[in-house]
Amino acid sequence: MLLNQGPAAPLPVDDLVSDTTTQGFVKDVIEESRRRPVLVDFWAPWCGPCKTLGPVLEKLVRAAKGKLKLVKINIDEHPQISSQLGIQSIPAVFAFVKGQPVDGFVGALPESQVAAFTERLVGKVGGASAELVKTAEDLLAKGDAAGAADLFAQVLAEESENVHALAGLVRSHVKAGNMGPARATLSLIPKGKENDPAVSAARAALELAEQAASLGDSTALEAKVAANPLDHQARFDLAIALNARGKRASALDHLLEIVRRDRKWNDDGARKQLLQFFEAWGPTDEITIEGRRRLSSILFA
């Protein structure tokens, strides 16, 4: 134990991030570390790198959902602890577990390295959310749009900017035929994440569903194609309608037929529509893989 316990430390900012003093160190760090790992951030107001590292530490500690605590100590006001630990430069971070310092680093490391440091203590942050997203994706693949939406919403209640959950919720709304909520959810994608593959797939799914909604019943389109196999517009519209009904293999067949018969039709429209299908279906989907193979065999035959 480093010091005898003295007067209580200042009230914490919250249960995850707080300041401490020399007198409060035992209670705030030593005793607390017997319940969960505690990071101690040694900093000073004049230290520029400290101002960079501090927000990163807070972000990662909050993301750990209570598995980890951050305690900050100003070495100008409370130099005794840093002196006992032999700290010669700041920022310096020590991890305490079961009353003892077990790991640490010096300097304003990149967030990825700080995250790796915290993961050594509590495991990978976001694991529970990732499992919920995966379960939701499985439900959506089975056609349970409502169940998937509930799980995606649970993730977003804790992590409002979770891109995979947002994209999944968009696709859940699309699957349920709720285009308004799908469009509204898409607008919540964080800036800079608009081109994330999950977001692109969700956007493509929404656009395809909106296209299909304007086409109406596919029966008339099927009749047109049967009457005139060279009616590429009817075949094109039919492919979109079939995809909206979940008949992706048939939709693929019709668009490939247009490419085979007339590659240049509608400014290469059939091929471009196929690419949007592939984006909506996902790169690892079996029909996407088959479709890319068949498209390549037509284009490069």
Catalytic residues: 47, 50
Is there a single domain that holds both residue 86 and residue 62?
yes
Please report where in the chains the tokens 């980890």 appear, as a residue. Answer: 68
| 3-state SS string for 14-25 | CCCEEECCCCCH
pLDDT, residue 126, reads 56
Contact 141, 134 (CB under 8 A): no
Is there a single domain that holds both residue 209 and residue 247?
no
Of the candidates 147, 182, 213, which is a domain's last residue?
A: 213
Q: Average per-residue pLDDT in the chain?
A: 87
Q: What is the DSSP string of the chain?
A: --S---SPPPPPSSSSEEE--TTTHIIIIIIGGGTS-EEEEEE-TT-HHHHHHHHHHHHHHHHTTTS-EEEEEETTT-HHHHHHTT--SSSEEEEEETTEEEEEEES---HHHHHHHHHHHH--TTHHHHHHHHHHHHHHHTT-HHHHHHHHHHHHHH-TT-HHHHHHHHHHHHHHT-HHHHHHHHTTSPTT-TT-HHHHHHHHHHHHHHHHHTT--SHHHHHHHHH-TT-HHHHHHHHHHHHHTT-HHHHHHHHHHHHHH-TTTTTTHHHHHHHHHHHHH-TT-HHHHHHHHHHHHHHT-
Per-residue model confidence as pLDDT tens digits over 252-299? 999 999 999 998 999 999 999 999 899 888 877 889 999 999 999 988
pLDDT, residue 113, reads 87
pLDDT, residue 12, reads 40
Of the candidates 156, 180, 213, which is a domain's last residue?
A: 213
**56: domain range?**
17-122
Per-residue model confidence as pLDDT tens digits over 41-63? 999 999 999 999 999 999 889 88
Report yes or no on 1 lying in a domain. Answer: no
Number of structural domains (the chain) is 3
- pTM score of the predicted model: 0.54
Report yes or no on 10 lying in a domain. Answer: no
Q: CATH number, domain at 166?
A: 1.25.40.10
pLDDT tens for the chain, 301 residues long, are 344 333 333 334 458 899 999 999 999 999 998 889 999 999 999 999 999 999 999 988 988 878 899 999 999 999 998 888 888 889 999 999 888 888 888 999 888 888 888 888 876 555 567 788 889 989 998 889 999 999 999 888 877 888 889 999 999 999 998 999 999 999 999 888 888 888 988 999 999 998 888 887 788 999 999 999 999 999 999 999 998 888 989 999 999 999 999 989 999 999 999 998 998 888 778 899 999 999 999 888 6
Of the candidates 61, 91, 122, which is a domain's last residue?
A: 122
